Amino acid sequence: MFNIIRASLFKLIKDWTFRITMMVGIGLAALLIGINAGIGQLNGQTMFLSSVSPSQNFGLTVPINLVVFTVSEFTCGTIRNKVIAGHTKFKIYAGLFLTGLVFTMSLMIVYLGVIVGLSSAIGGFDANAIGGGTFIGCYIVYFLTSYIFVTALSVFFGALLRNIGGSISISVVSLVLLGMIPLIITLAIGKEFNAANVQMWINPLYMLGLYANSSSIINFLHNVGADTSAFYMQNAQMIIAGILTPLLWSTILFISGAFIFTRRDLK
């Protein structure tokens, strides 16, 4: 298992797609900072909330590149070599997932670091404007668990379809829908955004999506006269849902992905 992950990480570091995506991420971060500074709305806390959405901006490039990385193992036939080398198919699938996780987290953490670091340095970071340290801690946890889900989903479809076009389409559409549902629901339901409680136990990207779209939602709540300060308050139920729901879906995707992978032929 360790050997598979070591090999995959070596391939990842040498992979041009990964390097280019990393550079694109840094470039995009600089561009967004420039645009926001240009319109006089640059601050660290807003950039922190809005830049990690898996259904917008740089977040969307993660499943695309992860699918390309996963499918390339099948198209080059290198996954076949690993089976021939005596690794079990379960370990190979686990290796794909864990390498994917490194891929996802390194891209997002670098992007987040650049965008939050630079925007905070220029426009400042007001933690109290977004509910203080408790909310920031919760939001980082939602970010981590949600991107574990993004990785599990992308690897699942990449290994299932073994086709770049199809896997990207289905992964991106799923993530856009899941990420946008919190916004749609909140806008549809109106003041009582907590009425969407059921959603947070079903939708793995609900908690992250809710706050990643916070500027739209806050504006809406403000316009309908709701108490916007309550928006960032986190109760135990929300925190548990923000951790459990994405992890549960990730586990389901990982187990079913590994199950299908071990029972299918390799070309």
Partner 1 sequence: MEKYVIETKGLTKKYGDKLAVNNVDMHVPQGSVYGFVGENGSGKTTIMRLLMGLAIPTKGQYALFGVDSKDRKIHEVRKHISAIVETPSLVPSLSAYDNLKYACLYYGISNYKEVIPEALKNVGLEDTGNKAAKHLSLGMRQRLGIAVLLLNKPTLMLLDEPMNGLDPSGVAELRDLIIHLNKQGISFIVSSHILSELEKIATHYGFISHGKILKEISASDLALECQKYTDLKHNEPGKLKEALVALGYKEIKEFPNSVRIYDDVKPLELLKALEKKGIEVSDVKTSEMNVEDYYLNLIGGEKNV
Position of tokens 């379809």? Answer: 161
Size of site (CB under 8 A) for partner 1: 26
In 124-205, where does DSSP find H-type helix?
Answer: 132-161, 164-189, 197-202
| Contact status: 23 vs partner 1 (CB under 8 A) | no
38: how many CB neighbours lie within 10 A of its CB? 9
Distance of CA 12 to the CA centre of its chain: 19
Please report how close the Cβ of residue 76 comes to partner 1 at its closest, in angstroms: 5
Nearer to partner 1, 68 or 218 (CB): 68
Token pair recorded at residue 67: 């699918």
Token pair recorded at residue 137: 């801690």
Encoded one letter per residue, x for contact with partner 1 by CB under 8 A and - for no contact, window 61-100 reads -----------x---xxx-xxxxxxxxx------------
Please report how close the Cβ of residue 181 comes to partner 1 at its closest, in angstroms: 38
Encoded one letter per residue, x for contact with partner 1 by CB under 8 A and - for no contact, window 224-263 reads ---------------------------------------x
Distance of CA 255 to the CA centre of its chain: 19
Q: What share of the chain is helix, strand, coil (3-state, %, to 5)?
A: 85, 0, 15
Binding site for partner 1 (CB under 8 A): 3-4, 6-7, 10-11, 14-16, 72, 76-78, 80-88, 263, 265-267
